[in-house]
Each structure stands twice: as structure tokens, then as C-alpha cells.
Amino acid sequence: MVMARQSEPFARQTVGVPVLITRPEAEARAFAGLLKQRFGGQVRPVVAPLMAPRFLDATLPTGDFAGVIFTSVQGVEGARRLGPGLPTLAFCVGQKTAHVARAAGFEARSADGDAEALLALILANRPAGKLLHIRGQDTRGDLEERLNSAGIETESLIVYQQEPLPLNKEAEALLLSVGRIIVPVFSPRTAAILAAALPSGFKAGLDFVAMSPSVAHALAGAPRDALVISRQPDAEGVLDAIGTLLAASPMP
């Protein structure tokens, strides 16, 4: 944990600690539900999406593929919109993406982690042919290049892009008020958008929870009271980190 500013502690707040959730709408609502299940009245989720997916008119490449790669649930939705013709084998970055892929009819294998874990999963289970990475416009980790370098022929198909959104009025009012806010951040791009969107002269103290070291790196220049990195790059790890913050400054 890295301390950087001083502001009103959690213990002096009379309602649940605000947790500002900036994920896309569907994922933000789902995470808000997980927060309430885990922490009840200790937290007050504030949903303020900073990105929204826009699906593109993509065309399935010609040729045979042995499997697909999904690094997001939006990729699964983009694959569904492509129609028939995809292989059933799917390598997925985490359990949530794998769950959505299975619901869409894929035989999903989860890496239970980040891009590095996904790369390791594919290298340990080399497919019999080419792979198709169905993804968004912005990506990290050079997965396609690294798989090709390892002898696993891989193509990418961009099926959506995440368009930035401004902070909503509830989030702006929260940031301009005095008090501490927990802010879980799930991607480097969200970190960059959030840092740029912070209102001028905001008063709140920000306790960031970064889902991974790469997210923490993207938050390096953002003003904050604290920065905690999740021990595992998934929603469960982020929830555990939020629990650590709450335990360090318990509610009255």
C-alpha cells in the first residue's frame, strides 16, 4: 500500500464506504452485486462506466481454425454476432469470460488470470491448428505476436471497440465531496481514462485497487491516498483487496 494524501478516514463516514465502479455498464452492475454480497452495508457501490463497447461489422476470416481466444466477455459477444463457422474450443483469460463462452456454446478453458497466464495455458495445450483471437481494438500483452513466435499460428479479429464515456453526475459529486472513496480499476486503459476524467479541484481521497501490476503502473501518476494491487487478476482478488482496505480502516 502506498500512501500519498491525507483525507477523511473511512471510520468517520456515517454510511457505507463509497466504491466507485468504472467498468462498462453490465460488468459494473455485476461487480456492484458482488460487493453487496460480500460486504453488505459496509460499502455503497457507485456505478459510473467510463467505457461502453461498440460492436463492429466484422467478417470471419477464411481458413480453418482449431480454436479461438477470448480475452473479454465482449469478445465472446462479438463471436456470437459472427454466426456459425467458429471452432468450439476456446481459450479464455479468466473464469468470467469462460463462463460466458460456455453459455454461448464453446468448450472453454480458463487461464484463471491475465494475458501471461493465458499465454502459458495455450503453450501447455498446443492446438492442432491455427487460433483466432477475437478481441477489441485496444489490447495489451502482444498475445498474437508471442504465440506466432512460439510456433502457434494465430490471427486476430477485431470485433468491438471500447468508447470512452464522461463521468456521470453522481461520480462527479462524489469526487468533489470530502471523504474517502475506494476505486477498483480493472484495466490500464480505464486507469488512463479515469486519471484524465478526474474533476479539477476534487476533494475526495482515492484508495485505488489495481487488478494487476500493469494496471498499477498505469495509475502511477494519479493522485491517491493508497494503492493496493490484487493478489490475483480477477474480481475475487479485487474483492479481497477491498476487504483489506476496509479492515485497515473499519467502519464504526
CA 76 centroid distance within chain: 15
Residues near 177 by beta carbon (within 8 Å), at least 6 away in sequence? 203, 204
Does 121 or 10 have the greater pLDDT score? 121
Q: Tell me which residue range forms the domain holding 202.
A: 10-50+166-248
Contact 56, 158 (CB under 8 A): yes
Same domain, yes or no, for 65 and 104?
yes
Q: Select from 105, 139, 163 the last residue of a domain.
A: 163
DSSP E strand boundaries for 71-148:
89-92, 107-110, 131-136
Same domain, yes or no, for 126 and 201?
no
CA 135 centroid distance within chain: 14
* pLDDT greater than 50 at residue 60: yes
Cβ-in-10-Å burial (0-12, 13-18, 19+) of 237 comes to middle
Q: How many domains does the chain have?
A: 2
Centre a 10 Å sphere on the Cβ of residue 18 and count the other Cβ atoms it contains: 23
Same domain, yes or no, for 46 and 57?
no
For residue 208, the SS3 value is strand
Same domain, yes or no, for 134 and 58?
yes
Same domain, yes or no, for 149 and 59?
yes
Backbone angles phi, psi at 242, to 5 degrees: -65, -40
Q: Select from 102, 133, 163 the last residue of a domain.
A: 163
Same domain, yes or no, for 124 and 182?
no
> For residue 4, what pLDDT is reported?
41
* pLDDT greater than 50 at residue 6: no
Do the domain assignments include residue 204? yes
Same domain, yes or no, for 218 and 124?
no
> For residue 249, what pLDDT is reported?
67
Do the domain assignments include residue 3? no
The residue length of the chain stands at 252
Same domain, yes or no, for 148 and 206?
no
Centre a 10 Å sphere on the Cβ of residue 46 and count the other Cβ atoms it contains: 20
Strand bridging mode 154-164 / 51-55: antiparallel
For residue 125, the SS3 value is coil
pLDDT digits (tens, 9 = 90+) for 123-146: 999 999 999 999 999 877 689 999
Q: What is the pTM of this model?
A: 0.82
Mean predicted lDDT score pLDDT of the chain? 91
Q: Select from 163, 184, 216 the last residue of a domain.
A: 163
* pLDDT greater than 90 at residue 65: yes
Do the domain assignments include residue 4? no
What is d(CA 92, CA 103) in angstroms, rounded to the nearest whole number? 13
For residue 209, the SS3 value is strand
> For residue 246, what pLDDT is reported?
94
User: What angle in degrees, to the nearest 10, is found between the helix axes of 73-82 and 95-103?
Assistant: 20
Do the domain assignments include residue 5? no
Same domain, yes or no, for 128 and 32?
no
Same domain, yes or no, for 137 and 71?
yes
Do the domain assignments include residue 2? no
> For residue 150, what pLDDT is reported?
97
What is d(CA 160, CA 156) in angstroms, rounded to the nearest whole number? 12
* pLDDT greater than 60 at residue 1: no
pLDDT digits (tens, 9 = 90+) for 102-128: 999 999 999 988 888 999 999 999 999
Same domain, yes or no, for 68 and 18?
no
CATH code for the domain in which residue 221 is found:
3.40.50.10090
What's the number of CA atoms in the CB half-sphere (13 Å) around residue 129? 10
Same domain, yes or no, for 59 and 109?
yes
